């Protein structure tokens, strides 16, 4: 089951690669078609020549150079050659060397009026070619039939411009890095904004914390003071409790002594009452006796 899925995945990947290659090829063909321009045009004594080439290329590319030639009158012994050359560094040495290619368009042909040729030629640019302009040099020789005169034409011109692949790669890397930098900067700005908000929140919370801590310290100081007073009061209470217990014990002892004394007092009071009553009886008896004696003494008859 897994092997089947792997094969299916590989087929999908291959199809995607083929599609991408086809799209790249079609886009490259369309670009080449759009970027092709006329680089040379001359009309001289019965011969008209036009040369077309792409605007730009890269070292190692194969470019197509289109050449059209047409006779506006009868011409004989017609030769048309285009030399293409550029520069490249010397192998193992400092300085520059050259590279060259040639296109032989016509070789001793005889044309009647209206005869023409329109053909594309492939030119390979060396891999080690220096970026910059690639030049061409056209050479033409022919003889007009009408007057039998020989004619020549020569001209140098610019074929195309070789781009610097390394520079473009660096440019692409720079653009990628610049885009990444832009994204990172945006993320940094977002993080900076978030950080500023969090910092403001932190400062606010810290201010609240400091205020609450000051209140806590004040309350703790008050608590410590109250606790100290509480401990003092508890100590005083314990001392007073001990004194109270001692006094209560003394009170209970005194109360017991008081009860005993009261019992003795009550017994003494009872005995004292009895003695007092006896004393009262004795006094009264004494007073009665004295009074009786006085009365008897006073009633005694007097003798003559």
Would you state the pLDDT for residue 291?
87
Q: Are residues 41 and 157 in the same domain?
A: yes
Q: Is 171 inside any structural domain?
A: yes
**210 token code pair:** 């400091």
Would you state the pLDDT for residue 296?
82
Rounded to whole angstroms, the Cα distance separating 270 from 264 reads 10
Helices (H), the chain: 2-35, 165-299
> How many domains, the chain?
2
Q: Are residues 50 and 99 in the same domain?
A: yes
| CATH number of the domain to which 155 belongs | 2.60.40.640
Q: Are residues 103 and 177 in the same domain?
A: no
Counted residue by residue, the chain has a size of 304
Rounded to whole angstroms, the Cα distance separating 121 from 68 reads 11
Give ∠ CA 143-148-153 in degrees, rounded to 5. Answer: 30
- Per-residue pLDDT of 23-47, as tens digits, reads 444 444 444 444 789 999 999 999 9
- Average pLDDT of the chain is 86
Four-CA torsion 40, 45, 48, 54, nearest 10 degrees = -10
Q: Name the nearest CA neighbour of 107 among 142, 70, 71, 157.
A: 142
Residue 214 has pLDDT above 80, yes or no: yes
Strand partners, 44: 47
Question: What's CA 267's distance to the chain center, in Å?
Answer: 107
Instruction: Out of 8-17, 32-41, 227-236, 253-262, pick the least confident.
Output: 8-17
Q: Is 123 inside any structural domain?
A: yes
What is the DSSP code (8-state) at residue 115? -
Rounded to whole angstroms, the Cα distance separating 291 from 76 reads 216
Helices (H), 108-164: none
Four-CA torsion 167, 172, 176, 178, nearest 10 degrees = 50
Mean per-residue pLDDT for 235-248? 90
Instruction: Compare 114 and 13 and report the one with higher pLDDT.
Output: 114
**Where is mean pLDDT largest: 4-8, 50-54, 162-166, 243-247?**
50-54
Would you state the pLDDT for residue 11?
58
What count of other Cβ atoms lies within 10 Å of the Cβ of residue 199?
Answer: 12
Rounded to whole angstroms, the Cα distance separating 304 from 299 reads 15
Would you state the pLDDT for residue 15?
56
Q: Are residues 184 and 134 in the same domain?
A: no
Percentage with pLDDT > 90 across the chain: 58
Q: Is 187 inside any structural domain?
A: yes
Q: Whole-prediction pTM value?
A: 0.51
Structural domain span for residue 147: 34-163
Q: Are residues 213 and 102 in the same domain?
A: no
Q: Name the nearest CA neighbour of 163 among 132, 134, 129.
A: 132
Q: Are residues 200 and 187 in the same domain?
A: yes
Instruction: Compare 82 and 293 and report the one with higher pLDDT.
Output: 82
**112 token code pair:** 């009647």
Q: Are residues 93 and 180 in the same domain?
A: no
Rounded to whole angstroms, the Cα distance separating 73 from 115 reads 9
**297 token code pair:** 């003494």
Q: Are residues 46 and 113 in the same domain?
A: yes
Cβ atoms of residues 157 and 39 within 8 Å: yes
Q: Are residues 41 and 67 in the same domain?
A: yes
Mean per-residue pLDDT for 196-215? 94
Q: Are residues 141 and 209 in the same domain?
A: no
Instruction: Out of 89-98, 132-141, 156-165, 187-196, pick the least confident.
Output: 89-98
């Amino acid at each position: 089951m897994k092997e089947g899925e792997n094969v299916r995945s590989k087929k999908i990947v291959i199809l995607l690669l083929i599609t991408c290659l086809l799209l790249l090829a079609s886009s490259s063909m369309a670009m080449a078609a759009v970027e092709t321009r006329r680089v040379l045009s001359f009309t001289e004594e019965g011969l008209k020549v036009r040369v077309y080439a792409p605007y730009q290329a890269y070292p190692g590319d194969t470019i197509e150079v289109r050449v059209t030639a047409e006779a506006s009158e009868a011409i004989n012994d017609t030769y048309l050659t285009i030399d293409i050359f550029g520069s490249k560094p010397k192998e193992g040495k400092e300085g520059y060397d050259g590279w060259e290619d040639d296109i032989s368009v016509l070789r001793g042909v005889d044309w009647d009026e209206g005869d023409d040729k329109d053909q594309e030629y492939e030119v390979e640019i060396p891999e080690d070619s220096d970026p910059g302009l690639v030049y061409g040099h056209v050479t033409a020789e022919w003889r007009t039939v009408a007057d039998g005169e020989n004619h020549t034409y020569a001209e140098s011109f610019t074929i195309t411009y070789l781009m610097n692949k390394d520079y473009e790669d660096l440019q692409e890397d720079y653009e990628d890095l610049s885009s990444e930098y832009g994204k990172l900067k945006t993320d940094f700005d977002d993080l900076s904004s978030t950080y500023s908000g969090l910092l403001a929140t932190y400062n606010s919370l810290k201010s609240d914390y400091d205020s609450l801590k000051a209140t806590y310290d004040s309350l703790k100081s008050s608590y410590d003071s109250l606790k100290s007073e509480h401990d003092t009061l508890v100590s005083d209470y314990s001392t007073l409790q001990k004194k109270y217990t001692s006094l209560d014990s003394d009170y209970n002892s005194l109360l017991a002594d008081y009860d005993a004394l009261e019992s003795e007092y009550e017994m003494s009071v009872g005995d004292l009452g009895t003695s007092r009553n006896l004393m009262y009886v004795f006094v009264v008896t004494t007073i009665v006796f004295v009074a009786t004696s006085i009365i008897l003494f006073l009633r005694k008859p007097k003798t003559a």
